[in-house]
Amino acid sequence: MTTLEITGGQVLEPDMTVEHGDVLVDQDTGEILAVGDVPAGDETLDATDGLVMPGLVNAHTHLAMALLRGYADDKPLDSWLREDVWPIEGVLEPDDVRAGAALGALESIEAGTTALCDMYFDVPAVVDAVEQAGLRARVGHGVVTVGKDRDEASADFEEGLTVAREQAGAADGRVSTAFMPHSLTTVDGAELDEFVPKARNADVPIHIHANETRDEVTPLVDEHGERPLEYAAGHGLLSPTDFIAHGTHLDAAEIELLAETGTGVVHCPASNMKLASGIAPVQELLDADVTVGLGTDGAASNNDLDVFGELRDAAMVGKLAADDASAVDAAAAVEMATAGSADVLGFDSGRLAEGKKADIAVLDLDSAHLTPQHDLVSHLAYAASGADVRHTVCDGDVLMRDREVLTLDAEQVREEAESRATAAVERAR
């Protein structure tokens, strides 16, 4: 057994208290052995003047969209997707997706993110990037049937299922999968009826964009005479392993349905603000005991993958939504970005405790904007950013030490992403 001792810092405990202490990790199993007063490890990671915390979990993203950062801004979802994003995504090759996902993975590691959920196409290329980066991920192929004939639609659903079956367990078990119909309005209901039972047989969770914009909810209600999540449940969706992205526009019955079925919600506040999609009722979801995690969504609607930004936005916009400054308090926001997201994704991480996965970030507190230290949970929610992360550890392995990423060649990843992004824009013209 090889052990790693993260030493000399303060530790964020699962109950959101902070204590001086160390963390001992078994690098072979990738699990936490002890927290607090721990025996010496074979190797050490210096956390002096630092806060040892669970790695952040980005529960909904499209990593490879890092290639499209700044490509199309200032539009609402539907025209942004149809006029800008889908046309350029149509010219992307698997090597572009690999390069974009590597860029997103690099950015994630630099910001203390250790696990994520990714929906995209050319998923094996995404898995390559995740494997090399050393991250943990739940991945899936986003299935779209609008604009396709029945054969093409079925083929895309088949691919979603194949990817979910074949990629499960990749990267030494750090990669798991989900079946991912893109959204309730971009996939056909009859196809859902055929494929949801197949996904259940394959024993994979189902992840879908839902109730993101009013422009999506209203036509669905008009056409089917029921709320989107009632429609989703009618097609076999919503279960304790399933999770929806956004949930921006939910009525009380839908919140109840999420709670009853144990379905998780991934709140993406920055994307919801940027696309002017709306403000999710996060405090109401938490009050109803719905499991809520946080996601950045893709870098083209955010425009970064820093989950610290997301948890600050969640706290801020949660107060606006509830018209109550005590709503979505600092601890609730930090919890959503760690344990909440991990629970939504079904990962045994997001908490620093014995037996949990050793997915850890060390935040450097030695800076003006994190002084004085009245309350470190407050700092995590309102003052820190990904740039403050000193070390990132996933599955017991050090991915970034003293801000140097060890698993990826940062310069090469950035150069390749830059040139592939430029070439893709040329081809899309």
Ligand X SMILES: N[C@@H](CCSC[C@H]1O[C@@H](n2cnc3c(=O)[nH]cnc32)[C@H](O)[C@@H]1O)C(=O)O
45 near ligand X (CB under 6 A): no
Q: Is 212 one of the annotated binding-site residues?
A: yes
297 near Zn ion (CB under 5 A): yes
271 near ligand X (CB under 6 A): yes
Q: Which of 147, 144, 108, 101 is nearest to 122 (CA)?
A: 101
Strand partners, 26: 3, 31
**Position closest to ligand X via CB:** 142
One-letter amino acid identity for 190? A
* Pairing, β 113-120 against β 56-61: parallel
Q: What is the smallest separation between the CB atom of 68 and ligand X, expressed in angstroms?
A: 8
416 binds, among ligand X, Zn ion, none (CB under 5 to 8 A by kind): none
Q: What is the smallest separation between the CB atom of 78 and ligand X, expressed in angstroms?
A: 9
96 near ligand X (CB under 6 A): no
Q: What is the DSSP string of 142-206?
A: EE--TT--HHHHHHHHHHHHHHHHHSTTTTTTTEEE-BEE-BTTTS-HHHHHHHHHHHHHTT--B
157 binds, among ligand X, Zn ion, none (CB under 5 to 8 A by kind): none
> Of 22, 128, 191, 297, which one interacts with ligand X (CB under 6 A)?
297
191 near ligand X (CB under 6 A): no
Q: What is the smallest separation between the CB atom of 220 and ligand X, expressed in angstroms?
A: 14
Q: Is 73 one of the annotated binding-site residues?
A: no
Q: What is the smallest separation between the CB atom of 163 and ligand X, expressed in angstroms?
A: 11
- In whole angstroms, give the CA distance from residue 194 to residue 217: 23
121 near ligand X (CB under 6 A): yes
278 near ligand X (CB under 6 A): no
**Position closest to Zn ion via CB:** 297
DSSP-derived letter for residue 263 is -
Structure tokens at 401: 């030490």
Residue 188 and residue 150 in contact, taking contact as beta carbons nearer than 8 Å: no
Strand partners, 288: none
Give whichever of 11 and 220 is closer to ligand X, judged by the CB atom.
Answer: 220
Give whichever of 167 and 271 is closer to ligand X, judged by the CB atom.
Answer: 271
Give whichever of 297 and 310 is closer to Zn ion, judged by the CB atom.
Answer: 297
Give whichever of 143 and 333 is closer to ligand X, judged by the CB atom.
Answer: 143
Buried b (16+ CB within 10 A) or exposed e, 98-107: bbbbbbbbbb
Q: Is 203 one of the annotated binding-site residues?
A: no
126 near ligand X (CB under 6 A): no
118 near Zn ion (CB under 5 A): no
What are φ and ψ of residue 396, in 5° steps? 85, -10
96 near Zn ion (CB under 5 A): no
85 near ligand X (CB under 6 A): yes
249 binds, among ligand X, Zn ion, none (CB under 5 to 8 A by kind): none
144 binds, among ligand X, Zn ion, none (CB under 5 to 8 A by kind): ligand X
> Of 7, 62, 145, 334, which one interacts with ligand X (CB under 6 A)?
62
313 near ligand X (CB under 6 A): no
Q: How many residues at the interface with ligand X, by CB under 6 A?
A: 20
Q: Is 209 one of the annotated binding-site residues?
A: yes
85 binds, among Zn ion, ligand X, none (CB under 5 to 8 A by kind): ligand X
**Alpha-carbon distance values, 261 to 230, 234, 256, 416 (Å):** 12, 13, 9, 44
* Pairing, β 136-143 against β 180-181: parallel
- Number of C-beta neighbours around residue 190 at 10 A: 12
Q: What is the smallest separation between the CB atom of 254 and ligand X, expressed in angstroms?
A: 18
How is the chain split among helix, strand and coil, in percent rounded to 5? 45, 25, 35
CB under 5 A: which stretch of 87-95, 217-225, 293-301, 395-403 binds Zn ion? 293-301
One-letter amino acid identity for 289? D
Residue 390, helix vs strand vs coil: strand
209 near ligand X (CB under 6 A): yes
Q: Is 60 one of the annotated binding-site residues?
A: yes
Residue 330 and residue 381 in contact, taking contact as beta carbons nearer than 8 Å: yes
Q: Is 207 one of the annotated binding-site residues?
A: no
Strand partners, 208: 244
- Number of C-beta neighbours around residue 366 at 10 A: 11
- In whole angstroms, give the CA distance from residue 293 to residue 190: 30
DSSP-derived letter for residue 357 is B
For Zn ion, the binding residues (CB under 5 A) are 297
For ligand X, the binding residues (CB under 6 A) are 62, 77, 81, 85-86, 89, 119-121, 142, 144, 156, 182-183, 209, 212, 271, 297-298, 301
The annotated binding site is made up of 60, 62, 89, 182, 209, 212, 297
